[in-house]
Chain A
Amino acid sequence: MKRALEVFVFLAVYVLDVRVKAETVDPNEALIFWPSHCYNKTLPCTVKNLTKKSKLVHLGVEMSLSLNATVTLATQGVTLVSGILLIENNSNINVKTLYSDIKVNGAVLLKVTGQSIEITSLEGISEARRRGDEVFYSIPPGYTYIIGAVNSKGVADFEFPQSASFVSVVNNWSSLSYMTKPKFTLKAQEFRVSSINAGLFLSKTYKTIIERRIASHRKMLKRRQLNKVVKQKEIEGLRALFRKKNYLE
């Protein structure tokens, strides 16, 4: 028996080629971290999502990342590098982007596009400050603010606030939210009302602005007309004087 065992060990030593894996890699991993394995261990920690959506918890705030979205988690908040970030559940956190700083208070949907950042308040009144400016502007629910790159005056370009595009926002929101269906439906209905109200308010504001512009343009045209008449009269007077002096009349 002992002999047989010896033979087995002898054979095994020559036949077996045992290899050890260098690192365990999950091919279906949802998140990539930089530095490696930094999540919940060290800060700052950059996270990139490789699946349809992923949930992260930082400073007690739950956030959802879209496909290929990248964020850097830091001690003072989160930096959104690319993609779409959803923060909901009455959260309070500071989010930095390339062109703005956002104080989230409630729920927001942040979308980094090529040249700008779109901030849509879903719930609660969040605040945003563009680069080069000191003032934080309030973003009520239903509104979307678009902030662009820093211009030649040293401040980031800031578009006039818009009412949120309901369909596109809800599409992004539903694809990233971890809420239950009935709760989401309720929140979406509330958001719809907010966006409609925002649209109504902004249309009134736009109307007032446009009316003011039209009025000022009319005033300018009237002034021009008046100037023209005065100049015409001057020219006629001069012409008459010229003719009189040269005995043409």
Chain B
Amino acid sequence: MKNIVFFSFTLLLTASIFVFYVVVNNELSGVDLLVIENKLLKHELKKSTLKQELIKFHFETYRQDVAEILPEVLLKKSKGERSFPLRSLASVTQRHSNDRVFSRLGKKLFIRGQRAFRLGGYKESVKALEVFVSDYSYSRHVIEAYSLLTESYYQLGDLEKSVKFIEAMVDQFPNHELTGFALVRMGTILSQQDRRDEAGQVYMTVMEAYKSTPSLRNQARLLLSGL
């Protein structure tokens, strides 16, 4: 009887220990610890992101403070070599937002001119594109604007201005494909004015200079043969 009680107790105890071990091991095994560590690291990451955001904000606040004070100082010391650091600082404190707004405005103007050109409103197109070319000369659309101006003036019958813009294209963007097409247009203008020799020379130039653009070469060759 005593043995039965003893064995039963031992069996029960062993089973309990086993169950307890399994439960505790699952709870606090290495995997669980890694999960907890992962959570902690994520939390730390969020915290450091917040700290970084705050530092950025304080830096921006400082920049705005400097920008607020600078105009007064610049008025007093804005001349000469000595004021260079101040002027340099002033250029840093100005945000680039104005540049972005500026470029967006420029693009809008270009699109307006382009749309007017497509619809045949050459006068309107010229009006928008001339402003665009003079005010946003750094824009990447400027070559297209020149090209459209050339064509618009040609359509309006103002050949002198059309040639003026073609020359500007040759000066500023000699290797661009659109300059090649503009030169073809120049050839057409010259041939219309009975200056066939000059037109022929222009077509020859296009054929030699724009060898990599077959369509342009073919067009120039065709026009040359028609002279």
Contacts and interface: CB of A to CB of B under 8 A. Distances in A.
Contacts of A50: 46
Interface stretch (B49-57, B124-132, B169-177, B191-199): B49-57
Contacts of A99: 64
Interface string B25-53: 10010000100100110110011001101
Contacts of B25: 17
Contacts of B64: 98-99, 131, 149-150, 156
Contacts, number: 92
Contact of B40 (A11, A12, A25, A153): A25
B68 A132 contact: yes
Interface stretch (B89-97, B102-110, B141-149, B153-161): B89-97
A46 interface: yes
Nearest to B14: A11
Contacts of A32: 43, 46-47, 50
19 contacts: A4-B10, A12-B17, A15-B17, A15-B21, A16-B21, A17-B25, A27-B42, A34-B51, A36-B47, A48-B53, A72-B54, A81-B57, A82-B53, A115-B97, A132-B68, A149-B67, A150-B68, A151-B94, A154-B72
- Name the residue among A27, A29, A116 with the largest chain B CB count within 10 angstroms: A27
A149 B93 CA distance: 10
A19 B37 CA distance: 13
Contacts of A27: 39, 42
Interface in A1-35: 4, 7-8, 11-12, 15-19, 21-23, 25, 27, 29, 32, 34
B28 A17 contact: yes
B97 A148 contact: yes
Contacts of A116: 97
Given A19-B28, A154-B69, A11 B17 contact: yes
A12 B61 CA distance: 60
B13 A149 contact: no
Contacts of A150: 64, 67-68, 93
Nearest to A70: B53
B121 interface: no
A16 B24 CA distance: 8
B204 interface: no
A48 B28 CA distance: 32
Interface of B: 9-10, 13, 17, 21, 24-25, 28, 33, 36, 39-40, 42-43, 46-47, 50-51, 53-54, 57, 60-61, 64, 67-72, 90, 93-95, 97-98, 100
Contacts of A81: 53-54, 57
Given A8-B13, A8-B17, A99-B64, A18 B51 contact: no
A152 B86 CA distance: 13
Contacts of A23: 40
A94 to B, nearest CB: 16
Contacts of A70: 50, 53-54, 57
Identify whether the interface residues of A are mostly helix, strand, loop, or mixed: loop
Nearest to A154: B71
Nearest to B10: A4
Contacts of B33: 19
B44 to A, nearest CB: 9
A39 B90 CA distance: 38
Contacts of B67: 149-151, 154
B68 A131 contact: yes
Contact of B57 (A16, A17, A98, A149): A98
A7 B10 CA distance: 10
Nearest to A22: B40
Contact of B94 (A19, A72, A98, A152): A152
Contacts of B98: 151
Nearest to A148: B97
Interface string A41-53: 0000010101000
Interface in A60-87: 70, 72, 81-82
- Name the residue among B24, B33, B67, B98 with the largest chain A CB count within 10 angstroms: B67
Contact of A34 (B21, B54, B72): B54
Contacts of A8: 13, 17
A139 to B, nearest CB: 21
A83 to B, nearest CB: 10
Contacts of A151: 67, 94, 98
